[in-house]
Structure 1
Amino acid sequence: MSRRKPDPGASQAEALAADLHTLAGKLKRRLREQASAGDLTPSQTAVLMRLDREGPATVTALARLEGVRSQSMGATVAALEDLGLIKGSPDPADGRQTILALTPACREKIRSGRAARHEWLLRAIQSKLTLDEQAELAVALRLLGRLVDAG
C-alpha cells in the first residue's frame, strides 16, 4: 500500500482557518466592547438588529425569523418595549396585529454604537500599524472579501 504524502498546503490552510476564526472572534468582542449594548440579552440584540436591517415586523414574523416560539418572542419584545427601544402600532391592513419598529432613541443608540466601533477601529489602525502595514491590511481585506463572497 502506498501512503499519500501530507499536503503542506492543507496543513497551512488548516492553521490559517483556525487562526482566522480565533482572530475574528476577538475582533468581534473588541468591537462589541466599544459600543456595549448594555444589559441586553443576545435575543434582544438580535431582534433589534433584525428590525434595524429589515424594518418593522410583527411578533409572529420575528419569532419565525429568529426560530423561536411566538410566546418567547413576546417576552423579548415586552422587555424591549419596557426599555423604550421598540414601539408597537396597529397594522393598518389588519388591526388585530401589531407592527413593531425601533424607536428614535434606539436608532440613535445604534448609530452612536456604530460610530464608536468605527472610531475605535480607525484609531487602532492608525496608532498600531505603519503605513506599509496598513497597505498589507488592505491586501488582506481584499483576500478576506474573496473568501466571504465565495459563498
Structure 2
Amino acid sequence: MTDHLEAPDASETAAVATDLRVVVARLRRRMRETGDAGDFTPSQSAVLARLDSGGPATVTSLAKAEGVRPQSMGSTVASLQEAGYITGMPHPTDGRQTLLTLTDRFRGELHAHRAAKEDWLFRTIRSALTPEEQRELATGVALLKRIAAA
C-alpha cells in the first residue's frame, strides 16, 4: 500500500504563488535594510553580482547574460565605473574589448554587506524558529533553489 498525496488544485497552487511572491518581496526589503551595499538599480545590482560570482566580463557578455542591448549595458557599466565600483582592463586576446571587474575596495564592501545580511538571517532563523521549523526551512530552501533553476 502506497501513500499518494493528491496534487493541490490550481487555486491552491495560485494562492501559494501569490504568498511566495509577497513573502520574497518582504524578505528582500528586510535584507536591503540590513547591511545594504548602496542604492543600486536592479541592473547595477545584477552587474555587480555577476562580476562578483563570475569574474571579469566584457560589456557584451554582461549584456547578453542580462538580456539587454550592449548600449544599455554600457550606460550601466559607465555609472558603476564612475562611482569606483568597477574598473576595466584590456582584454588579453581582443584589444577592442575591455574586461570589467569589481574594484578591490568595493569587493570588500560587498562581502561585508553580504556577511551582515547572512548574520541577520542566521540570528533571526535561530531566534524565531524552533529546531524543527529550521529543518523545514532547509527543505523549503532546497525547493526554492529548484524553482529558481527551472
TM range (shorter): 0.7 to 0.9
Normalised to the residue count of structure 2, the TM-score between the two structures is 0.82
Count of aligned pairs between the two proteins:
142
Amino acid at match of 1:111: H
Shift in CA distance, 37/128, structure 1 to aligned 2, threshold 3 Å: same
Structure 2 partner of 1:145: 142
Q: CA-to-partner distance for each residue in 1:92-123, whole Å, 9 max, x for gaps? A: 11112111111111211111111010111122
Taking the aligned partners of 2:81 and 2:104, their CA distance within structure 1 comes to: 13
Check whether the contact 1:44–1:80 (CA below 8 A) recurs between aligned residues. Answer: yes
Shift in CA distance, 44/146, structure 1 to aligned 2, threshold 3 Å: closer
More displaced, 140-149 or 94-103? 140-149
Aligned Cα root-mean-square deviation (Å): 2.2
Check whether the contact 2:125–2:134 (CA below 8 A) recurs between aligned residues. Answer: no
Shift in CA distance, 43/147, structure 1 to aligned 2, threshold 3 Å: closer
Amino acid at match of 1:141: A
Q: Structure 2 regions of 5+ residues with no counterpart?
A: 1-5
Structure 2 partner of 1:65: 65
Amino acid at match of 2:30: R
Q: Structure 1 regions of 5+ residues with no counterpart?
A: 1-6
Taking the aligned partners of 1:8 and 1:114, their CA distance within structure 2 comes to: 37
